[in-house]
């Protein structure tokens, strides 16, 4: 059965009753499971992780838009995380028996539907993007809600769907399709922030590193160490093990050891299996040899 | 749902019609899947891999015994693999939502049932064993079918269930419970058989190595290399990565590199995840973070 993941980011992380009502509404739907819901008060933002059929995901997203648009007024919204809309970003991710092309088609279909239903501007991003200069979420979101009206009036920033001016309280939404993203951190046995920052700069795409790595160096003050904090946006093409080995080698150049690494949230089993294959030098290995996969197939 | 694996080894690997009939009979059962059936003509032996509920597995095993006992006469059986009975060995393995204790109980229940139904001696082994000196399959099978009558007359070798003399054509069966076994080989970039044999000796339990490793060194003549061929009988306590690292280090002591390793047949996902955790130095990782596990839970 085709299974699609969807991770709507909603601009409300403080009013827990509002968030709980959204979670309940999602759970009440057919063909959908709410895998996770994480709210952050300082970000004033909640991240819902859903999985289900194309129909189930589409209905759940519609319900979330309905509730978010009625409950959230971005004119009064404050939080550390950049945001453009009440429902800020909605990525669709292929999980099982579904192609990226199908997720792209779903993103465009849902984008057109919510734009029409809520009279809301929608931008398509990542794999669903129709314009190379609007592929990257950060580029679309730059200026945030407060700068949106001016941005939309600029050449090249008409939305993919919906009106050419912001929704008065709900701003705009960015909808798209992408591979599963892995939030991956490597902690270094040092308090030297410059080392973490230099390594982050060495491995991230934006400054010459790996194609599918976003990275920053940050202090973990309470532990007296530093961290290279990353998003791996395509674990098939830029695998975890290569990033880990590169960070380790770069750290050694400063006489610093890797203390540990950590995966934040969920990770596809294949991303871990690939690391095992690499380090164990496994030859001729196929995922059909994983007992749990075989059990599912028959 | 509780899911048990069962891997009956049947002493017929040449008459493909007989084997196909057994496979069909297993497939026709309720609550059971036949994951794999591998026959080896030189061993004259077939290995069935089943998975199902306790009831489903028990019924399938009963059907296999019925067919094997009617089709196989061990007095005329020749093959390279040691064997004691028409159905030679039947291990039960906990897969999902089932404990080792439940598999032990099932092994004893099935052992008593087939002993009664077919008037067949049954020995319990591994976790289901009732006697420490009869825990190991090789010890129970030593002497094979041809030496069975004499062995059974010896003190300490009365069976756990059934008559005190062999079944005339079907010998005896060894039934038990164990963890999944991983068939794991490491190929060395050398043709020096002594190196593979020395390493096998260093890592296997019987000569002082790891507790849950069985290993031999063999030549892969057609490729001009040698192999350390292993069974890992408890991947939780003696994990793949530790075995791999030790073989690599021992090989380096002879100036030999590891060419590759290989997993033969099926491997539990957790055994690979553990290797990823180890090499990536993952901290605070739990299997609940694996996306596929999360999907199954809700």
Q: What is the per-residue DSSP string for B115-170? A: HHHHT--EEEEETT-SSGGG-SHHHHHTTTGGGHHHHHTSTT---SBS-SS-BTTT
Residues of A in contact with B292 (CB under 8 A): 268-269, 292
Cross-chain Cβ contact A280/B244 below 8 Å: yes
| Residues of A with Cβ-Cβ distance to B239 under 8 angstroms | none
A65-77 confidence digits (pLDDT tens)? 999 999 999 999 9
Mutual orientation of helices A240-252 and A193-203 as an angle, nearest 10°? 140
Q: Which of B31-40, B234-243, B255-264 has the lowest mean pLDDT?
A: B31-40
Residues of chain A with Cβ-Cβ distance to B180 below 8 Å are 291
* Residues of chain B contacting A, Cβ within 8 Å: 3, 5, 33-36, 51, 95, 180, 187, 240-241, 244, 258-263, 265-269, 272-273, 275-277, 279-285, 289-295, 298
Contact status, residue B262 vs residue A283, Cβ threshold 8 Å: yes
**pLDDT of residue B298 exceeding 60:** no
Mean pLDDT throughout B192-218?
94
> How far is residue B195's CA from residue B254's CA, in Å, rounded to a whole number?
7
Closest of A69, A55, A165, A66 to residue A110, by C-alpha: A55
Give how far A25 is from chain B: nearest CA, Å. 16
Binary contact (B262, A284; C-beta < 8 A): yes
Helices (H), chain A: 16-27, 54-71, 100-118, 137-141, 148-152, 193-203, 240-252, 269-279, 291-297
**Which of the four CATH numbers 3.50.50.60, 3.90.79.10, 3.30.70.670, 3.40.50.2300 does domain B182-291 have?**
3.30.70.670
Q: Please tell me the distance from the alpha carbon of residue B170 to that of residue B163, in angstroms, as a whole number.
A: 13
The DSSP H or E segment spanning A182 is strand A182-188
- Of A144, A147, A174, nearest in space to A161 by CA: A174
Supply the pLDDT for residue A297: 67
**pLDDT for position A264:** 84
pLDDT at site A245: 97
Output phi, psi for B281, to 5 deg.
Answer: 50, 40
The reported pLDDT for the residue numbered B138 is 86
Percent of all residues in chain B with a pLDDT value above 90, rounded to a whole number: 83
Measured in degrees and rounded to the nearest 5, phi and psi for residue B206 equal -60, -25
CB contact under 8 A, B291 and A281: no
Which chain B residue lies closest to A96 (C-alpha atoms)?
A: B292
Q: Which residues of A touch B240 (CB under 8 A)?
A: 276, 280
Residue with tokens 């099935």: B110
A177 with A107: CB under 8 angstroms? yes
- Chain A: give the shortest CA distance to residue B182, in Å: 11
Q: How far is CA B91 from CA A180, A248, B20, B47, B181, in A?
A: 39, 43, 21, 11, 10
Write phi, then psi, for A242 (nearest 5 degrees). -70, -40
Q: Residue B280: how many CB atoms within 10 A of its CB? A: 26
Identity of the residue in A261, A277, A280 whose CB atom sits nearest the CB atom of B281: A261
- Residue among A82, A97, A194, A184 at smallest CA distance from A143: A82
**What per-residue confidence (pLDDT) applies to B186?**
97
Q: What ipTM, to 2 d.p.?
A: 0.75
Helix (H) / strand (E) element for A5: namely: strand A3-6
Token output for A31: 């063909």
Q: How does the average pLDDT of chain A come out, rounded?
A: 94
Q: Which of A35, A180, A291 sits opposite B268 (nearest CB)?
A: A291
Per-residue pLDDT band at B114 (split at 50, 70, 90): very high
- Does domain B3-177 fall into CATH 1.10.1740.110? no
Distances (CA, A) of A189 to A13, A121, A204, A245, B283: 33, 46, 21, 16, 14
Return the domain boundaries, chain B: 3-177, 182-291
Residues on chain A bordering chain B, Cβ-to-Cβ distance under 8 angstroms? 3, 5, 33-36, 51, 95, 180, 187, 240-241, 244, 258-263, 265-269, 272-273, 275-277, 279-285, 289-295, 298
Mean pLDDT of the region B118-135: 95
Confidence of residue B81 (pLDDT cuts 50, 70, 90): confident
With a cut of 50, list the residues of chain A below it in pLDDT: none
* B297 confidence band (pLDDT: 50, 70, 90): low
Residue of A nearest to B34 (CA): A298
Question: In Å, what is the CA distance from B105 to each residue of A159, B215, B229, B234, B250?
Answer: 65, 30, 32, 20, 41
Whether B81 is a known active-site residue: answer: yes
User: What pLDDT shows up at residue B174?
Assistant: 98
Q: Which residues of B touch A258 (CB under 8 A)?
A: 281
């Amino acid at each position: 059965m085709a299974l699609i993941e969807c991770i709507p980011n909603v601009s409300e992380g403080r009013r827990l009753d509002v968030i709980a009502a959204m979670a309940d509404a999602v759970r009440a739907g057919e063909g959908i499971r709410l895998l996770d819901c994480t709210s952050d008060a300082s970000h004033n933002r909640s991240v819902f992780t859903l999985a289900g059929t194309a129909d189930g995901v589409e209905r759940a997203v519609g319900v979330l838009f309905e509730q978010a648009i009625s409950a959230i007024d971005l004119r009064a919204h404050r939080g550390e995380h950049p945001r453009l809309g009440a429902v800020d970003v909605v990525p669709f991710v292929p999980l099982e028996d579904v192609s990226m092309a199908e997720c792209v088609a779903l993103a465009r279909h849902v984008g057109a539907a919510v734009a029409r239903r809520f009279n809301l501007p929608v931008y398509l991003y990542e794999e669903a993007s129709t314009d190379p200069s609007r592929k990257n979420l950060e580029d679309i979101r730059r200026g945030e809600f407060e700068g949106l009206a001016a941005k939309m009036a600029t050449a090249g920033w008409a939305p993919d769907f919906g009106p050419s001016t912001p929704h008065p309280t709900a701003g705009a939404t960015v909808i798209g399709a992408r591979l599963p993203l892995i939030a991956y951190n490597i902690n270094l046995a040092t308090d030297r922030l410059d080392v973490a920052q230099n390594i982050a700069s060495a491995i991230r795409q934006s400054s010459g590193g790996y194609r599918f790595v976003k990275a920053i160096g940050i202090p973990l003050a309470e532990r007296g160490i530093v961290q290279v904090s990353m998003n791996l946006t395509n674990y098939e093409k830029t695998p975890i093990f290569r990033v880990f080995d590169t960070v380790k080698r770069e750290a050694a150049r400063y006489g610093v050891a890797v203390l540990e690494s950590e995966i934040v949230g969920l990770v596809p089993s294949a991303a871990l299996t690939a690391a095992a294959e690499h380090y164990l030098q496994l030859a001729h290995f196929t995922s059909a040899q994983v007992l749990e996969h075989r059990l599912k197939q028959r």
